[in-house]
Structure 1
Amino acid sequence: MGFPRVLKDQMLFNEGNDYQGDAKTVGLPNLTRKMEEYRGAGMSGAVSLDMGQEAMEASMTFAGPMRDIIRQYGTPTVDGVYMRFAGNYQRDDTAEIDTVEVILRGRFSEIEFGDQETGEVGDFKATMAVAYYKLVWNGRTEIEIDPINMVEVVNGIDLLAARRNALGMF
């Protein structure tokens, strides 16, 4: 029997500055493969061919407007903003704590001020188009996706190393 890992604490950083007390929720990117159905001669059914990593997106909600995010809107480079999520998850059966860190590089594609009401904590939402993703679990890199440099590391194995080598890339 086991209990789920529950997020007990989290922190969000933007270019190294923390959002303690400001960040309410963080929507980490979904990892999605682009698949294309294929059925060739002599096959009794279709299979899905892996066509690579789909574009990634992250979202975050804050308790009120965030000036530094507003100032980063329109960043001209695809990986111009550095964000880092740090969280710890604990199981109630073993008290085991796992640390999870997600490093993102990208730029803001949408900023939503939401409804502003006097005397109420508002929601300020930002959406980031992600150009780089790295998941570190208990200090070990589990996944690293860097489409610009053609890097996809899963469980310590760079899945694109042979393809980069075949193209003469590092």
Structure 2
Amino acid sequence: MKKNNLRAWTLFVNGAQRLEGAHEYTPPELAITKVEVRSGGMDMSVPMDTGMEPMVCTFKIYGVDTDALALFGMQVGGKSPRITAYEGYQYTGGSYGKIDEMEGMITKITADARPNTNMSEASVTLEMSLNYYRSSVDGRELFEIIPEQFVRRVNGVDVLAGLRSKVRL
């Protein structure tokens, strides 16, 4: 891929409402949990995938956004809030877009310290524990992770499909 730079990004709640005061967004870290396995005929241990670490994203909002804060711990009608992050990247001669779709529960709200200067920069950080994550670049799926359905797709390949069929999920 060509050298590229993040040029702009936005966050939306439930597909329609833009979080206008959002000024910082950290996508979820994707991490595999593993154990080291070594049998009698092996010279060294090898890693074995035992699942994934919990996924968490954070975003920071200037001031007080009561609609976003009201999502704390909420599931409206049995449905988790959905945050969509749109990112625009630019390179010499072109641009492309990345979309992260996340569902989960706002599990933590942390207010910045209240300074005596630059008060307009005081923010609130929201942490969201995810039960769904999908990331795509210009329509090409990079990841889709649905823990409750035992789905982990990487670059369009469902790496858990074979195991899922063995346990009849």
Provide, for residues 41-69 of structure 1, a one-character-per-residue CA deviation record: whole Å limited to 9, x for no partner.
Answer: 11111111111111100000111122112
> How far is the alpha carbon of 1:76 from its aligned partner?
4.7
Tell whether the 8 Å contact from 2:12 to 2:18 is kept in structure 1 after alignment.
yes
Provide, for residues 80-119 of structure 1, a one-character-per-residue CA deviation record: whole Å limited to 9, x for no partner.
Answer: 110000001112xx33212100000001111012123464
Tell whether the 8 Å contact from 2:75 to 2:81 is kept in structure 1 after alignment.
no
Corresponding residue of 1:116:
114
The unaligned stretches of length 5 or more in structure 1 are none
> How far is the alpha carbon of 1:3 from its aligned partner?
6.0
* Alignment: residue pair count: 165
Task: Quickly say closer, same or farther: Cα 1:79–1:150, change in 2 above 3 A.
Answer: farther
Of the structure 1 ranges 119-128 and 131-140, higher mean CA displacement relative to structure 2 is found in 119-128
Corresponding residue of 1:55:
54
Tell whether the 8 Å contact from 1:79 to 1:132 is kept in structure 2 after alignment.
no
Match runs of 1:15-164 below 5 Å = 15-16=14-15, 17-20=17-20, 22-76=21-75, 80-91=80-91, 94-117=92-115, 119-164=119-164
Amino acid corresponding to residue 111 of structure 1 in structure 2 = I
Tell whether the 8 Å contact from 2:141 to 2:156 is kept in structure 1 after alignment.
yes
C-alpha separation in 2, matches of 1:76 and 1:168: 29
Indicate the SS of the match to 2:70.
helix
TM-score normalised to structure 1 length: 0.89
C-alpha separation in 1, matches of 2:40 and 2:65: 57
> How far is the alpha carbon of 1:37 from its aligned partner?
1.2
> How far is the alpha carbon of 1:167 from its aligned partner?
2.5
Indicate the SS of the match to 2:67.
helix
The unaligned stretches of length 5 or more in structure 2 are none
User: Between the two proteins, what is the percent identity of the paired residues?
Assistant: 24
Q: Which runs of 4+ in 1 moved over 3 A?
A: 76-79
> How far is the alpha carbon of 1:164 from its aligned partner?
2.1
Structural RMSD (CA): 1.9
